[in-house]
Amino acid sequence: MLVRKMLPPSRASFFITGLKPGFISVYFYYGGEARCQYLGNLGRLVAAGQWLAGHGQSRIIMTPATAVPKLLLFLTAAFQGEAFGGIRKSGREWSEEATGLADEAERAVTIVRHVMKGPARGRTLTFSLDTTLPATVKDAISSLPQFQPPVSDSLHVALFSNLSHQTTSLGSVTHPPRHLLLVSLRSGHDITALLTQPWLSGVQSLALVTPVSGSLVTYTLLPFCSPSLHYLGHWSTHTFHTWESLFPDRFLNTCHTVFHVAMKLEDPPYFYRRRLHSQPVGVSVNMLRALSTKLNFSYDVTEDSLDGTWGVLEGGKWSGMLGMVNRGEYNFTGNGFIQSLERMEAFDFGEYIYQDKVSVFLRKPVPVQAWMDLVRPFSVGVWAALLVTLLLSSAFFTLQARLQKRSNRSVSSLYLMRVLLSQSTPPSDQPRSRLLVSVWLLVCLILTSAFTSNLVGIFTTNTFPAPITSLSQLAAQSTIRLTVPDHGSFVSNQLKRAEDYVSLRRFLGRIELFPLECEAVGGMTAGTHGFVEVATHTMIMLTTKYKKRNWYRVKEAFLTVEMSWVYKKGTAWKTKLDEKIKWLKYTGVIEQWYKMELQHLDVGRKWRGRGKGVNDDPDTTGGRGRPLTTSHLQGLFFLLGLAWVFSIVVFLLEKTHQKMCCSFCPIGSVPLPFTPDS
């Protein structure tokens, strides 16, 4: 058992921890210092009271039979300032005061013992006592640190006699307890007013034990039913022997409650319109229909926030959709939100619906110019090596022909070109030439086969420069800036504080936020910016809304995120929705809805979750080949035109040369190589 005294920062605290059955240790915190004392078995609680009283400048006498209730009462009185406020009392005075309150103490301890042995067996108990302190004591211990809230599976037991004191103490806790048992030592409280306090809305399991007409009665609150106050029965060990009997499910039936859901259109595949003025559809709409049927509630939705933003913290207040939930105007959001530390402090996030990635989208690189297709099968190095080999081989074969007794035209440079161009060649009649020609034939066979294969591949597919695949490569491209519309989304807030994140620091000075989404998309299509957003939503938006195809997604993502619905802080009933959402997710229903929406949006399977590759052409689907156009063969026509130009130039030069020779050398003076008589 763990008894933990949970008080505001201005008060002291104590812990009673069970080391093993029958033994306890008392941890006492006072004056900013933690003290520990081992006290032995339960039969020696008199020593516990004497030790604690000694540290509080007073003494108390207890017997083993009344040790537990009197110890609790002594601790209560001590923290009320009587022991630590400088007031000295004798052991008789302490004993008389404890005896006067013994009935209430015995009642409280009996209830606690029953809870420990029955409903709360195996759980940690955290106690909160109804206490007040004078100003002198508050000032003395104001420097004490605030203790952490209890763990989620612990039971918080609040014993009180003064309603205003206890609600003030418990209501000051930042995180309300998940399971709370209120034990009233006196009757006469307004039970409905007590259980309907706003801060109790965050308590998942709630029960109140209070004396009514001389007997103990147990109540709980069912917030969705009318009347909300629910009678559980008279207190007894037989009635409340299990956890479910003492803490029934407060949200089992929502009783047709109408939930107000804040949603924002243009968020495919979660919430959007397929046609103008049509009913909104999406994964979130399907989920709301299924959950409302299963949990018996109704809902109404809004299609946008007042300021058109998702929500950001400005001046201590939340704007957009998150602001509407934070102010209590709506119960939760139907769009998926990404968790952040800032949001988690102000909201409760439900079970995540889908995982996605925050990625960078860039304009697809411009294809290589088609007129270069004839030279692209080989790299510059291969073309240079081929030219050098051709020149050296021609020179070597020509030299070999001159060394022979008679010239052999089969070893001339034109012979080599014919082989290279797959033209037929006459056989060589010299053995030494045949050896060289055979090697040259093998080289030409490999080169022409490789050239033809690569050329066919170039003609049948578009070729792009190497895309950017990592954030390091993107950071090295100093001309590309990061952008996103400044509409209060998670990504836009992250980019605004890029200096706080390691993955974004290398892009400092290269981040530009546009007020409108179309401007950010325009920067991406212009090639000057990289669009940063959640991958799936961005791919659908670029494909369906802006009809853009010339984009691709950088393979390395900034981070992986989980999309969840957002609730107001302290919403205890969200656990019922979380259970059903988890069931829909693990059975594959949400995944199937997701696929169906992508099919309606006409988004290819290869794009889902990965983005479109730079070599994927949406115009060439279905396995159909595309015909060659003049753009594919324009390099060949350029080469042919260039040959015509050189031919014309050579022809003109020969004509000019011939005219010049005829003008200086008359025909009669030019010796002919033969005479008619010969």
Nearest residue to 333 (alpha-carbon basis) of 304, 363, 374: 304
d(CA 131, CA 79): 7
Same domain? For 428 and 406 the reply is yes
Q: Is residue 672 part of a domain?
A: no
Work out the average pLDDT over 424-442: 66
Label residues 641-650 b or e (16+ Cβ within 10 Å = b): eeeeeeeeee
Answer yes or no: do 119 and 192 share one domain. yes
Cross-strand partners of 215? 212
pLDDT band for position 123 (cuts 50, 70, 90): confident
How big is the chain, counted in residues? 678
Are 383 and 473 found together in one domain? no
Asked if residue 626 is part of any domain, the answer here is no
The span from the CA of 2 to the CA of 223, in Å, is 31
Share of residues in the chain with pLDDT > 70 (%): 63
Q: 604 vs 267, 540, 601, 633, CA distance in Å?
A: 18, 10, 9, 31
* Residue 258 predicted with pLDDT over 60: yes
Distance of CA 288 to the CA centre of its chain: 22
Q: Among residues 353, 382, 398, which one ends one of the domains?
A: 353
Please tell me whether residues 319 and 413 are part of one structural domain.
no
Q: b or e along 385-396 (b: 16 or more beta carbons within 10 Å of the residue's beta carbon)?
A: eeeeeeeebbee
Taken in order 415, 417, 418, 419, is the CA torsion positive or negative? positive
Instruction: For residue 365, give the nearest of 479, 462, 453 by alpha carbon.
Output: 462
The alpha carbons of the chain give a radius of gyration, in whole angstroms, of 44
The pLDDT value recorded for residue 8 is 36
Q: Which residues span the domain enclosing 286?
A: 258-353
Assigned domain for 671 exists: no
Predicted local confidence at residue 376, as pLDDT: 77
Same domain, 212 and 181: yes
Query: What's the pLDDT at 643?
Result: 77
Query: What are the φ and ψ backbone dihedral angles of 512, each rounded to 5 degrees?
Result: -140, 120
pLDDT for res 130: 55
Average pLDDT over residues 424-447: 70
Q: Report whether pLDDT(584) > 90.
A: yes
Considering the domain architecture, whether residues 226 and 278 belong to the same structural domain is answered as no
In a domain, 253, yes or no: no
Residues 344 and 361 in one domain: no
Query: Cα–Cα distance between 182 and 216 in angstroms, integer?
Result: 12
Return the minimum-mean-pLDDT range out of 48-57, 215-224, 496-505.
Answer: 48-57
Last residue of a domain, one of 292, 318, 353: 353
Residue type, 325: V
pTM metric for this prediction: 0.64
Higher pLDDT, 593 or 20: 593
Q: Are 406 and 496 in the same domain?
A: no
pLDDT at residue 92 tops 80: no
Q: Taking a C-beta distance cutoff of 8 angstroms, is the pair 614, 464 a contact?
A: yes
Sequence-separated contacts (24+) of 500-509 with Cβ below 8 Å? 503/471, 503/558, 503/559, 504/558, 506/471, 506/475, 507/475, 507/482
Which of 460, 476, 495 is the last residue in one of the domains?
Answer: 460
Count of Cβ atoms closer than 10 Å to residue 509 Cβ: 9
**Is 494 found in the same domain as 348?**
no
Count of beta carbons in the 10 Å neighbourhood of residue 22: 10
Q: 162 and 54, same structural domain? A: yes
Instruction: Check whether residue 304 and residue 413 sit in a common domain.
Output: no
Work out the burial of residue 6: count CB atoms within 10 Å of its CB; fewer than 13 is exposed, 13-18 middle, 19 or more buried: buried
SS3 for 64?
helix
Q: Which amino acid is at 255?
A: C
Bridge pairing between strands 215-221 and 205-212:
antiparallel
CATH number at 340 reads 3.40.190.10
The answer to whether 262 touches 305, Cβ cutoff 8 Å, is yes
Are the CB atoms for 37 and 62 separated by under 8 Å? no
Q: Is residue 380 part of a domain?
A: yes
Number of separate domains in the chain = 5
How confident is the model at residue 553, as a pLDDT? 93
Domain identity same for 445 and 479: no
653 domain residue, yes or no: yes
- Is residue 655 domain-resident? yes
Sheet with strand 125-129: strands edge to edge: 125-129, 155-160, 179-184, 205-212, 215-221, 229-234
- Domain annotation covers residue 477: yes
Mean pLDDT of 292-300: 93
